[in-house]
Each structure stands twice: as structure tokens, then as C-alpha cells.
Amino acid sequence: MSKIDELIQEYCPEGVEFKELGAVCEVANNKRKPVKSSLRTSGDIPYYGANNIQDYVDGYTHDGEYVLIAEDGSASLQNYSIQFVTGKFWANNHVHVVRGINEIENRFLFHFLSGMNFATYLTGGTRAKLNKAKLVEIKIPVPPLEVQKEIVKILDMFTQLEAEQIGR
């Protein structure tokens, strides 16, 4: 059982409803725009692909708080590429751009997806792909927003402590 599952069970012993990602999140893929490295104009806006920042460019495709999920090209299928971004950024076509609406906090979504096994949602052979049709079917737990915020505080603190330990 993952840490987030343990926390949900602790805070919501009666259980929580699970909903499809497509019902509780906006998938903002329509603004994604790939640009060959030779055609990019250098700048200070992060240019994201499946595995984090690929470059810094002039201009942006999105502005706000989002969770980026590798569509294809994740460096690891066991530790699938999930990124949390805020502010202006450019997303290429190898990453899904998602954010919670109404019932889901973005940081909660990020933590849940970071601990998830994506294997059953991936298609393709040698290059696994998470297409949008499969993405929106992913079941997300939906505890009350106050519980999500408390879980996020705990997991963010845990993540920070881990990073400090690794940095030593």
C-alpha cells in the first residue's frame, strides 16, 4: 500500500469515492506544441517534454498550476514521469497537461499519480504510450478537499525530508 493510500485510509476510514480522471480534471493538451531544438528561440520559459525540462524558450503554451504526465518516452515505466509545474511553461506533444477541477487539488493529483503503476494504461510495444483515451479512464480517489490538503502537507514534508537526506 502506498503512503497516499495509507493516509486516505487514516483520514477517511469509511473509504472514498473513486472517479475517472476525465471527470475531475481538465486535460489541456490542445495548446501543446512541439518545436525542433533548431527552431526554438532561446529564453527563460521552461520547455517540458516527457522527462522534465528539455530547454528554455521564449514564449509559452500554458500558464498556471498543472501536472504533466508523460504521454510517451518516459525514462522509466516503473517510475513513470510525473511533473508538477507552476507559472508559464511550454509543453511539447510528449506530455499530457492536466489540472484538477473543483474536487481535486493539483498537488494531491501529483502525489497520487507519482505513486501509481501505469502499466495497465499503456499501449504500444517497444515505445509505451499513454494515450488520452486511457489517461481519462484512470481512477482517482476523491477524499474531501480538506483531507486532500492535509495529505499534501504531509507528503510535501516527507518529500522535502527525503530530498534533504539525499543531498547530504
Which of the given ranges, 51-55, 84-88, 121-125, has the highest pLDDT on average?
Answer: 84-88
Count CA atoms closer than 13 A to 27's CA, side-chain side.
Answer: 19
Q: Is residue 163 over pLDDT 90?
A: no
Assign 76 a pLDDT band (cuts: 50, 70, 90): confident
Query: Residue 42 CA to chain centroid, in angstroms?
Result: 26
Q: How confident is the model at residue 72 (pLDDT cuts 50, 70, 90)?
A: confident
- pLDDT average, residue stretch 149-166: 85
- pLDDT, average across residues 68-76: 84
